[in-house]
């Protein structure tokens, strides 16, 4: 795995350097975005396929699409700050010599992403506060804790990238929304490719897990995925869209059986990768 592992990371580093662009002159920012426009496709919204969505009028649904996008972009920029903390801890650590150069490029690109997502939110809405819940992993041995940290990074990026791809091609959305999603996907495709290589490498170095370690790993991974999915049901965005009893509205949405199917779609690529790598075998081990 060593030479192939290093070769892939070197190629991804070269690709990153070749595609480097300063985001401050990259996008055409409109003066305003109309209240009658979809900012997030209705099929990707947290209410899709539920009785709650059917009960909302068209104006409220479009207002909610704006705040769902603000929430998604806010989650992305807060999450990327956490990713940078993980990468920075290991950028010059023993055992991470091969991805070290790529990590430098990763940090530069994530800084660009945080800038353009925060710029969009400030211009057209607001940045929602960080509601990240720390998932403890102090009961794991250090090598397993590091592997789990990188696996969280990978899953977070793949969930976001699923939405980026869908939105970058949706002609119902304003050009600036499509452009930001497309730009993010272009970089994230490299991050995901590298993340999968690193996850496989770290997993191979772990050796056989004890039954207790295996159970703790799976429990903590499932807990992280659960928190990630629930973060897309931010009660503040329901309140901002004019929906009464935002917390009650959220509770009812999370009870809807149809939402589980949507979660499976969003996690589809991650689940397939984890199964093919032998890290997680069943969908119910994720959520």
Residue 140 lies in a domain: yes
Residue 257 CB contacts under 8 Å (≥ 6 apart), including other chains: none
pLDDT over threshold 70, residue 240: yes
CB atoms within 10 A of CB 282: 10
Alpha helices in 49-174 (DSSP H): 51-54, 58-90, 100-124, 142-168
3-state secondary structure at position 57: coil
Three-state secondary structure of 18-46: HCCCCHHHCCCCCCCCCCCCCCCCHHHCC
What is the pLDDT confidence band of residue 278, given thresholds at 50, 70 and 90?
Answer: confident
Residue 31 lies in a domain: no
Rounded Cα–Cα distance for residues 1 and 195 (Å) = 15
- Out of 38-42, 87-91, 152-156, 209-213, which region has the weakest mean confidence (pLDDT)? 209-213
Mean pLDDT in residue range 29-35: 95
Rounded Cα–Cα distance for residues 123 and 63 (Å) = 16
Beta carbons of 96 and 90 less than 8 angstroms apart: yes
Q: What is the pLDDT at residue 136? A: 53
Q: What is the pLDDT at residue 133? A: 62
DSSP character at residue 174:
-
Residue 244 lies in a domain: yes
Mean pLDDT in residue range 256-272: 93
Tens-digit pLDDT profile for residues 119-132? 999 999 999 999 77
* Domain around 237: 2-22+36-285
How long is the chain? Answer: 287
Number of domain units in the chain: 1
Average pLDDT along the chain: 93
Residue 50 lies in a domain: yes
Residue 76 lies in a domain: yes
Token reading at 11: 């190629």
Residue 235 lies in a domain: yes
Residue 27 lies in a domain: no
Residue 28 lies in a domain: no
- Whichever domain contains 85, its CATH number is 1.10.620.20
Token reading at 140: 């794991």
Rounded to whole angstroms, what are the CA distances from 12 to 100, 128, 182, 189, 200?
A: 12, 32, 18, 10, 16
């Amino acid at each position: 795995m060593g030479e192939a592992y290093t070769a892939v990371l070197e190629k991804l580093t070269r690709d990153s350097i070749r595609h480097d662009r300063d985001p401050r002159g990259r996008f055409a920012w409109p003066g305003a975005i109309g209240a009658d426009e979809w900012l997030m496709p209705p099929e990707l919204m947290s209410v899709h396929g539920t009785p709650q969505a059917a009960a909302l009028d068209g104006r409220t649904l479009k207002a909610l699409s704006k705040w769902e996008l603000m929430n998604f972009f806010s989650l992305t920029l807060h999450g990327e700050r956490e990713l940078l903390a993980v990468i920075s801890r290991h950028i010059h650590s023993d055992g991470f010599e091969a991805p070290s150069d790529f990590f430098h490029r990763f940090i530069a690109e994530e800084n660009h992403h945080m800038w353009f997502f925060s710029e969009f939110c400030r211009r057209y809405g607001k940045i929602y506060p960080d509601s990240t819940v720390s998932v403890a992993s102090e009961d794991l041995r250090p090598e397993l804790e590091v592997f789990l940290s990188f696996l969280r990074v990978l899953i977070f990026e793949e969930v976001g990238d699923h939405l980026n791809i869908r939105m970058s091609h949706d002609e119902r959305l304003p050009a600036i929304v499509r452009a930001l999603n497309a730009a993010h996907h272009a970089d994230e495709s490299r991050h995901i490719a590298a993340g999968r290589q690193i996850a496989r490498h770290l997993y191979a170095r772990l050796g056989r897990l004890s039954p207790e370690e295996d159970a703790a790993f799976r429990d903590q991974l499932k807990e992280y995925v659960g928190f990630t999915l629930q973060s897309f049901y931010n009660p503040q965005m329901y309140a901002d869209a004019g929906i009464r009893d935002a917390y009650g509205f959220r509770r009812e949405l999370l009870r809807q059986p149809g939402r589980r199917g949507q979660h499976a779609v969003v996690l589809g690529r991650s689940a397939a990768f984890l199964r093919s790598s032998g890290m997680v075998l069943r969908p119910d081990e994720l959520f």
